[in-house]
């Protein structure tokens, strides 16, 4: 039986929730008795909720974070509450020591976190990358001390007590937001709100796809869930709606999302900006929706909701859990002041008294430690059982097992690169977007983890895998993913796919200019080391008549400025194949391929091997590494540089033509190699690229000249625009004569 304080708190929350989520009357008036038996309390006045004020009455009617009394509880329930309070205080203490962080969410979400990690999820703390583990994503990443506390209690080596004490410090394994590359046990990098729930959709898509491809009637070798906690901020961000719309459309039944319904954001009560009915929106998106009215102490409600969610196989589930942010804090609970800053010494002490917590900071009581210690042997047992199951699968289904093993280990098939097409100068001219499709369709035959699609532009981006159908609710084994017009969600979903298993090679596509819609997801790809391949077509003014809204100008320069990403702009078939080789090999670094709409010739001297070095010489009539002038081009303008070189050579000049397909790869080459391509003694350099000249001075030097476009484009046929903007052979020849 629940204590009186727990009951009163539940009543208060229910009263608040009745108004927020509807009732048969316009006004609900409830009175509550004073809390009794609390270490710290204040009387609860009558709370009145009116249709004209969404929940204004709640803030004056307490939820002063009642203590959870356990004296009249069973030992089992008492231990659960003690464990939950351990999570709360590990978060409180870490934020307090750092004097930085977000304690409110961990304090409010501790019950659902405890139930997930202690009772529901399957994982192996000593092998956090075990393939068939359940995945957890904290989309509300600012509350990361919740996850760190859970990983610590569960026995992950990556989060020791000292790591909790080093929260948000230099070289800490517990950074200010969850980072998969810093903390083993964290699946994805979250922080920018909404990214995490979209990543979770990608993780769940990956599970559904693999289960459909590899499970057999006598052996369901792929069987795991994706759980996520998201908050009001995630719900407000548009990316979450994009991704959740797709999750509903795809029927991702093993995606279970917990919505921390606490109605508080940094600016205060969410009624100032967020009053929609989230339940109805998710139902319209095709989700199953459950409401847990008391997320603070309603442990059985949470358990029942998870059980119900698992019973729904054809829809993802949103479990809305109404909680009190900062639960347990007598003076700051249910307010924005507990959202993003430490409680302060006085309030920490008051919270300890309120929740009856007599322990020193960072202390884990022995009975709680003993209770959680079972996850290490249990996790090892779960993995051993699965390994035995896979061994049986491997004997019976050897071909499928080899493919699946490649996906979950990341080992590429031997000789896969031999599938890449090659081209000669006699091969027909073609747009690099078309050459890209040839590469994709060649690679999908030899790379089991390759899948992807476009943001409603497959016929224009040329990304369709011709030998496969569409990944859909009833055909999840297929490998063409239809993202619809959802660029931001598409990118984040692909991040989730990439991070599900190291052998997944997801790609996604749109027009290059529309990377503006998905830049945040691309940046997270680079940060979290997700090797997504971004197939970006219509890469310049060469797209022509669609005009400046569709013509990228600053985009190449902006991605060259982004850390840990490869910006590749191939000029022809061989360079396109080389770009794909590089992209496939870089599993911890995303790649962007900027591809042309217009046809380009197959140039003499280009090669797959040259692309791997980032920059290389395609033609040169000089000797002794001393050309009169070096012409440097990328993509569609390499052809112009090559044509200009031919004319200059006829005039007696020695000219080297360099393809600088990837600045990042070129920068990584040895000093000797770079000197062999761009000798320091040759200052006469001209670059040509149909984009911003920003950054090119690094290549051409102070005495060189960069030809490009430093204004927006125009609507006209491509040839006319090139001529008017001076992206021509004549301009290159004039510049070459000027600098040499």
- Among all chains, which residue has been given the structure tokens 């459309």? 249
Provide the CA 629 distance to its chain's centre, in angstroms.
Answer: 44
Strand (E) positions, 455-504? Answer: 470-471, 480-482
The Cα–Cα gap between 324 and 451 comes to: 42
The response to whether 546 counts as a known ligand-binding position is: yes
Distance CA 565, CA 545 (A): 30
Q: Which helix (H) or strand (E) holds 48?
A: strand 47-49
Q: Is 314 annotated as a binding residue?
A: no
Token couple for 294: 């008391």
Q: Closest Cα to residue 177, out of 149, 140, 215, 136?
A: 140
Residue 471, phi then psi, degrees to nearest 5: -65, 115
User: For the chain, percent helix, then strand, then coil, each to nearest 5?
Assistant: 45, 15, 45
What CA–CA distances, in Å, run from 576 to 439, 572, 579, 602?
Answer: 8, 6, 5, 11
CA atoms within 13 A on the CB side of 150: 27
Q: For residue 77, count CB atoms less than 10 angstroms from its CB and return exposed for 0-12, middle for 13-18, buried for 19 or more.
A: middle
Question: What letter does residue 50 receive in the DSSP assignment?
Answer: B
Q: Judge whether 500 and 135 are in contact, CB under 8 Å.
A: yes
Element (H, E) at 593: strand 591-594
Ligand-binding site membership of 570 (annotated):
no
CA dist., res. 679 & res. 199, Å (int): 45
446, burial (CB in 10 Å: exposed 0-12, middle 13-18, buried 19+):
middle
Write out the E strands in 382-466.
Answer: 430-431, 450-454
Q: Does 233 appear as a known binding residue? A: yes
E strands present in 566-620:
566-568, 591-594, 599-600, 616-620
| Annotated binding-site residue? 295 | no
* 730 within 8 A of 723, measured Cβ to Cβ: no
Containing 436, the helix (H) or strand (E) segment is helix 432-443
The reply to whether 550 sits in an annotated binding site is yes
* 316 is known to lie in a ligand binding site: no
Q: Provide CB contacts within 8 A for 626, sequence distance 6+.
A: 654, 679, 681, 682
192 is in an annotated binding site: yes
Residue 573 assigned as binding residue: no
What is the token pair recorded at 154? 């569960």
- Residue 263 is assigned to a ligand binding site: no
Ligand-binding site membership of 102 (annotated): yes
Per-residue DSSP letters for 260-279?
A: EE--EETTEEGGGT--S-HH
487 is catalytic: yes
- 229 close to 113: Cβ distance less than 8 angstroms: yes
Distance between CA atoms of 270 and 335, rounded to whole angstroms?
11
Instruction: Name the strand (E) or helix (H) holding 104.
Output: helix 104-115
Rounded distance, CA 16 to CA 369, Å?
A: 36
The answer to whether 572 is annotated as binding is no
How far apart CA 709 and CA 727 sit, in angstroms, is 8
Six token digits for residue 206: 């990956």
**Separation between Cα atoms, residue 440 and residue 576, nearest integer Å:** 10
The answer on whether 288 is annotated among ligand-binding residues is: no
Calculate the CA 559 to chain-centre distance: 17
Q: Which two tokens stand for residue 487?
A: 């660029």
Region for residue 268 given its phi and psi (left: phi exceeds 0; alpha: psi -120 to 50; beta: otherwise)? left
Residue from 116, 111, 114 nearest 324 by CA: 111
Mention every residue, 6+ apart, whose C-beta is less than 8 A from residue 395: none
Q: Kind and range of the H or E element at 658?
A: strand 655-659
Could you say which of 487, 575, 639, 664 is catalytic?
487
Backbone φ, ψ for residue 372 (5° rounding)? -75, -20
What are the distances in angstroms from CA 249 to CA 283, 401, 518? 12, 29, 21
Catalytic residue list: 487
Which parts are annotated binding residues for thiamine diphosphate?
142, 191-193, 233, 262, 339, 514
Which parts are annotated binding residues for substrate?
102, 339, 433, 460, 538, 546, 550, 597
Which parts are annotated binding residues for Mg(2+)?
232, 262, 264
Which parts are annotated binding residues?
102, 142, 191-193, 232-233, 262, 264, 339, 433, 460, 514, 538, 546, 550, 597
């Amino acid at each position: 039986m629940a204590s009186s304080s727990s009951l009163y708190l539940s009543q208060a929350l229910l009263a608040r929730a009745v108004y927020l989520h509807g009732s048969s009357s316009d006004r609900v008036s409830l009175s509550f008795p004073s809390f009794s038996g609390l270490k710290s309390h204040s009387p609860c006045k009558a709370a009145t909720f009116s249709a004209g004020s969404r929940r204004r009455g709640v803030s004056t009617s307490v939820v002063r974070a009642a203590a959870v009394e356990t004296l009249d509880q069973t030992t089992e329930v008492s231990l659960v509450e003690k464990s939950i309070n351990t999570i709360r205080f590990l978060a409180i203490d870490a934020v307090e020591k750092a004097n930085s962080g977000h304690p409110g969410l961990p304090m409010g979400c501790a019950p659902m976190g405890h139930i997930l990690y202690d009772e529901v999820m399957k994982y192996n703390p000593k092998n956090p990358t075990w393939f068939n583990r359940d995945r957890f994503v904290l989309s509300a990443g600012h509350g990361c001390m919740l996850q760190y506390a859970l990983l610590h209690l569960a026995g992950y080596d990556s989060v020791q007590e000292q790591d909790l004490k080093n929260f948000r410090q230099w070289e800490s394994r517990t950074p200010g937001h969850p980072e998969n590359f810093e903390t083993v046990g964290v699946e994805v990098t979250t922080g920018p709100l909404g990214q995490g729930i979209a990543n979770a959709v990608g993780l769940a898509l990956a599970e559904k796809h693999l289960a459909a491809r590899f499970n057999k009637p006598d052996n369901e070798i792929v069987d795991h869930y994706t759980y996520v906690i998201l908050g009001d901020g995630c719900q407000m961000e548009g990316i979450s709606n994009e991704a959740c719309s797709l999750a509903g459309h795809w029927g991702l039944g093993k995606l279970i999302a917990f919505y921390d319904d606490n109605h508080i954001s940094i600016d205060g009560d969410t009624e100032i900006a967020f009053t929609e009915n989230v339940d109805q929106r998710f139902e319209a998106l095709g989700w199953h929706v459950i409401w847990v009215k008391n997320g603070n102490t309603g442990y059985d409600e949470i358990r029942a909701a998870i059980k119900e969610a698992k019973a729904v196989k054809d829809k993802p589930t949103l479990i809305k859990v109404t909680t009190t942010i900062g639960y347990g804090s007598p003076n700051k609970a249910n307010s924005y002041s507990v959202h993003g800053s430490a409680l302060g010494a006085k309030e920490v002490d008051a919270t300890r008294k309120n929740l009856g917590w007599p322990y020193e900071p960072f202390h884990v009581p022995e009975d709680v430690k003993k209770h959680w210690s079972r996850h290490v042997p249990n996790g090892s047992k779960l993995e051993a059982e699965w390994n035995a199951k896979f061994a049986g699968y491997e004997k019976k289904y050897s071909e499928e097992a080899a493919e699946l093993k490649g996906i979950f280990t990341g080992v590429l098939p031997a000789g896969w690169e031999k599938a890449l097409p090659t081209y000669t100068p006699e091969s027909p001219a073609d747009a690099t977007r078309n050459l890209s499709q040839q590469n994709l369709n060649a690679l999908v035959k030899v790379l089991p983890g390759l899948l992807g699609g476009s943001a409603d532009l497959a016929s224009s981006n040329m990304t369709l895998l011709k030998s496969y159908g569409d990944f859909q609710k009833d055909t999840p084994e297929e490998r063409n993913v239809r993202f619809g017009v959802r660029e931001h969600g598409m990118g984040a979903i692909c991040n989730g796919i990439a991070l599900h298993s190291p052998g997944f090679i997801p790609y996604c596509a749109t027009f290059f200019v529309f990377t503006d819609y998905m830049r945040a997801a691309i940046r997270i790809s680079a940060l979290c080391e997700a090797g997504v391949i971004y197939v970006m077509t219509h890469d310049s003014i060469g797209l022509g008549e669609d005009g400046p809204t569709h013509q990228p100008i600053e985009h190449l320069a902006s991605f060259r400025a982004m850390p840990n990403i490869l910006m590749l702009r191939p000029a022809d078939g061989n360079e396109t194949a080389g770009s794909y080789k590089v992209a496939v090999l870089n599993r911890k670094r995303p790649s962007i391929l900027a591809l042309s709409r217009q046809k380009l010739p197959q140039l003499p001297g280009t090669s797959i091997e040259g692309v791997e070095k980032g920059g290389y010489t395609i033609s040169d009539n000089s000797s002794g590494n001393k050309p009169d002038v070096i012409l440097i081009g990328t993509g569609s303008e390499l052809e112009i540089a090559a044509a200009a070189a031919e004319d200059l050579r006829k005039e007696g000049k020695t000219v080297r033509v360099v393809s600088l397909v990837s600045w990042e790869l070129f920068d990584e080459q040895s000093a000797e190699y770079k000197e062999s391509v761009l000798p320091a003694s040759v200052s006469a350099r001209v670059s040509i690229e149909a984009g911003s000249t920003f950054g090119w001075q690094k290549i051409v030097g102070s005495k060189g000249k960069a030809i490009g476009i430093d204004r927006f484009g125009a609507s006209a046929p491509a040839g006319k625009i090139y001529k008017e903007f001076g992206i021509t052979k004549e301009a290159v020849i004039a510049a070459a004569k000027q600098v040499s």
